A and B are shown apart, each in its own frame.
Chain A
Amino acid sequence: NAGVMQNPRHLVRRRGQEARLRCSPMKGHSHVYWYRQLPEEGLKFMVYLQKENIIDESGMPKERFSAEFPKEGPSILRIQQVVRGDSAAYFCASSPGSSVGAQYFGPGTRLLVL
């Protein structure tokens, strides 16, 4: 049973480009969460999604960031017009339900903005 999968594992972008981060939840999990780990900071919640629905995006920056979890395919975290401050590790987690149990994390995508 594969765990949470994220790709790419490493992503390099120049300022102004777009970054797309993908997350495939564990089999049987329908809830996806995105977290960001900035250098020298802890993990911060960004967004919580279910299939075709954004449940809570209170941690998302107001501009340039968006997330989706379509009916088919992985969840996507999209960052438009990246800036150096977006350099971080982005982790996806999944759970079978919001109040059912723990979240299981993927290996993360390390984004570096030049």
Chain B
Amino acid sequence: AQSVTQPDIHITVSEGASLELRCNYSYGATPYLFWYVQSPGQGLQLLLKYFSGDTLVQGIKGFEAEFKRSQSSFNLRKPSVHWSDAAEYFCAVDPDSWGKLQFGAGTQVVVTP
């Protein structure tokens, strides 16, 4: 079945440490890929997107993501987290380029001092 998997439900990271959030998808072709962030009580903000081309994508707030076709993965990274990065992060795919996004379950990131 087609799916988007975020294996980590919850991650705790120290401020200043690096962060990596995992995302795997299972679709026949390479879908459009996205990462969104949601702060409590807020909507979703787009961090970055991948459609084609360079497999390392730069986003806002110092985030980047790398598309690996062989692993069907699109992991999100940040070299040094800030307390304001505490939020829930969602990986999403658009498998048919139709605009019907399929979301992962989300990863809750907690940042400790």
Contact = CB atoms under 8 A, between A and B. Distances in A.
Interface string A40-78: 011111001000000010110000000000000000000
Interface in B29-82: 34, 36, 41-46, 49, 51
Interface residues of B, number: 21
Interface residues of A, number: 28
The B interface is mostly helix, strand or loop, or mixed, namely loop
B14 interface: no
Contacts of B36: 105
Interface string A71-100: 000000000000000000001010100110
Contact of B43 (A42, A59, A95, A107): A107
B26 interface: no
Interface of A: 4, 6, 31, 33, 35, 41-45, 48, 56, 58-59, 91, 93, 95, 98-99, 101-108, 110
12 contacts: A33-B99, A42-B103, A56-B98, A59-B100, A93-B44, A98-B97, A99-B97, A99-B98, A101-B51, A105-B45, A106-B43, A108-B42
